[in-house]
Structure 1
Amino acid sequence: MTTLNSTTTQAEYRIVHRTSYQYSEPVALCQNQLRMRPRNLPHLTCHSCDVEITPKPTSADTHPDYYGNVVDSFSIEALHSSLEVVVRSHLTVFATDDASLAGAADWSLLAERVRRGDAPEDWRAREFTFDSARIPTSEKFAQYARQIMLPGMSIIDAVDALTSHIHKDFRYDGTATDVNTSTVSAFEMKAGVCQDFAHVQIACLRSLGLPARYVSGYLRTFPPPGKPRLIGCDESHAWISVYAGVGIGWVDFDPTNAVRTGTDHIPICHGRDYDDISPMRGIVLGGGSTTLKVSVDVAPVEKLSQDIVPSQVQTQG
């Protein structure tokens, strides 16, 4: 399995994520949390990030959550008929060196080591083997994975195989599910979107005792040959991250596209499932009916302004 952009070792981007709400009646109060700021990771360096909120919040705060994701909390305590949040980020993504994955452990032996908590890293990763609000474990999920993840396969080869199998076995269908569809329902339908593909694969891996977490971020898209890149047509995306053991750490896989992630994937947040890291959530008092518009523009910076090295910040988890 290869990445979408296997020959690129690093890529620099400027990203604009715009979320706009229009209300049919005035809103007296809104309180929201954003999880849209990138953070420094072993394979991502965030150079800058700016969050612009209109109308201006009455109060605002930025803080890390339990998983280390950057959270912007804000409250608007005045009548307003619209809300716009614009997040502008400048960052560099680095590809994983495939040589660093050599010698990855047998997946079943790794699951046993994690269960015992042989090393501090194994113990910390173990929390991502348990059920979460959106992702249950079961023997049904385990049996599905065991058909593909054969005995003796390394954790990398085994998850590569499962990633490809889910991609082939499931139908990408934006009408089959919605944001509230359960993982079990998506699994039974064998259909859904990136959120469903990720939830199902995580359920399979956790059911085998392997730590797996949900990743939200962006995916760089490419226009058809000869066509210009359209502004604002890129998308938020979701994939998974799997703990591959001491010395390797977490490795990301995208079951929607049947790839191990590369420089076209831009991670923003990780958690147990979608509920932990939805990009924007909150409550409003009033508002009537709501019209929501979201646009994401992932613009590559063709020439790096300086030599950049990957961040040395370690991933929490």
Structure 2
Amino acid sequence: MNYRITHRTTYAYSSRVAVSHHAARLRPRDTDTQRCIEFGLSFDPEPDLLTEHTDSFGNQVACFSIQKLHARFEVVSRSLVTLAPVLQPDPAQTPPWEQVAALFRDPVPVDLLDPCQFVFRSPLLVHEMPLRDFALPSFKPGRPVLAAVADLCSRIHREFVFDPKATTISTPLAEVLEKKRGVCQDFAHLAIASLRAMGLPARYISGYLRTHPPAGKPRLVGVDASHAWAACFVPGFGWVDFDPTNDCFTSLDHITVAIGRDFSDVSPVRGIITGGGKHSVEVGVDVEPVGGA
């Protein structure tokens, strides 16, 4: 499956900005089942400085500075990505969740040190008893770990309402848990924090989700979305991605861009500015199947 992706982020300021510094994580990752064949960034205005590096999670980061007066700024990424089917393990054939959690208590085997970093609290996610209490019904004694994850995923989808107006980027997870409303970022955070509360490694994934038009309707340009989901580490299988917003394991509709402990590690575009007053931001994403698939 091939996709051509356009991601446009536009900032408008009420007064002119003198200097701005930004970091963007917009290049789709290369994985066992995904390859980024083409990638490019364009800017308006053009940055005065531009550098690139790879962060500690393997994400490509573009850092750029604009050192001239501007009242508007736009960055556009264009990618061509190819995906192969993901071979998902049978949840019933995965090891018991208690056995997996035990591997990540001291002493941790050397070959598990990388996933071990995703067991601990992170900038936006802390261990709280309500999260363990929320997770426990899915984690029956001896239950295979991916069967428990699938049940947790279904419960989040069933018990929480997708509501773009209910939360912001800064809404605490405790409030999401109380109101039972939020967006994909909130549901990914909830799943990750719940798994970590059970002693299991879980990480955050940002990317794109291809949307399907209603039957008989044409595909609309620009209505696809940035998306967020989660992954759990399963010994013998590796990382297994799942999407609590849509109650599924990931498929050919999910395109991975960045991986981290939580959203703070993978924000698509973030920065600091001098001046600018109030500002607004608009984001548009188009995920176009190549060949009309």
The verdict on a shared fold, with TM-score over 0.5 as the criterion, is yes
Give the Å deviation of 1:179. Answer: 1.0
Residue 201 (str. 1) matches residue 191 (str. 2): yes
Question: Of the candidates 31, 42, 56, which is equivalent to residue 32 of structure 2?
Answer: 42
Residue 70 (str. 1) matches residue 98 (str. 2): no
Q: Which residue of 1 aligns with 2:280?
A: 291
Question: Of the candidates 257, 265, 274, which is equivalent to residue 254 of structure 2?
Answer: 265
Residue 108 (str. 1) matches residue 108 (str. 2): no
Q: Which residue of 2 aligns with 1:171?
A: 161
Question: Of the candidates 260, 266, 274, which is equivalent to residue 263 of structure 2?
Answer: 274
How far, CA to CA, are the matches of 2:200 and 2:178 in structure 1?
22
Q: Which residue of 1 aligns with 2:205?
A: 215
Q: Which residue of 2 aligns with 1:128?
A: 118
Give the Å deviation of 1:286. Answer: 1.6
Q: Which residue of 1 aligns with 2:51?
A: 61
Give the Å deviation of 1:178. Answer: 0.9
How far, CA to CA, are the matches of 2:102 and 2:85 in structure 1?
29
Give the Å deviation of 1:303. Answer: 7.3
State which drifts further: 153-162 or 212-221. 153-162
Give the match's secondary structure for 2:71.
strand
Residue 253 (str. 1) matches residue 264 (str. 2): no
Give the Å deviation of 1:302. Answer: 2.6
Question: Of the candidates 278, 295, 302, which is equivalent to residue 291 of structure 2?
Answer: 302
Q: Are residues 303 and 288 of structure 1, via their aligned partners in 2, closer, same or farther at CA, if it must alter by over 3 Å? A: closer
Q: CA RMSD in A?
A: 1.6
How far, CA to CA, are the matches of 1:100 and 1:41 in structure 2?
21
Residue segments in structure 1 that go unaligned for 5+ positions in a row: 1-10, 305-317
Question: Of the candidates 54, 69, 82, which is equivalent to residue 79 of structure 1?
Answer: 69
How far, CA to CA, are the matches of 2:121 and 2:260 in structure 1?
12
The superposition leaves residues 24-56 of structure 1 with CA deviations (integer Å, 9 ceiling, x where unpaired) of: 322111100001111211121110100111111
Q: Which residue of 2 aligns with 1:158?
A: 148
Question: Of the candidates 83, 93, 99, which is equivalent to residue 83 of structure 2?
Answer: 93
Q: Percent identity?
A: 43
Q: Which residue of 2 aligns with 1:20?
A: 10
State which drifts further: 147-156 or 249-258. 147-156
How far, CA to CA, are the matches of 2:207 and 2:134 in structure 1?
27
Query: TM-score if structure 1 supplies the norm length?
Result: 0.89
How far, CA to CA, are the matches of 2:53 and 2:252 in structure 1?
27
Q: Is contact 2:29–2:59 with CA below 8 Å preserved after alignment?
A: yes
Give the Å deviation of 1:145. Answer: 1.2
Q: Is contact 1:94–1:262 with CA below 8 Å preserved after alignment?
A: no
Q: Which residue of 2 aligns with 1:4?
A: none
Q: Are residues 117 and 215 of structure 1, via their aligned partners in 2, closer, same or farther at CA, if it must alter by over 3 Å? A: farther
Q: 1:69 is aligned with what amino acid?
A: N
The superposition leaves residues 258-285 of structure 1 with CA deviations (integer Å, 9 ceiling, x where unpaired) of: 0001110111101111111111110111
How far, CA to CA, are the matches of 1:296 and 1:84 in structure 2?
13
Give the match's secondary structure for 2:214.
coil
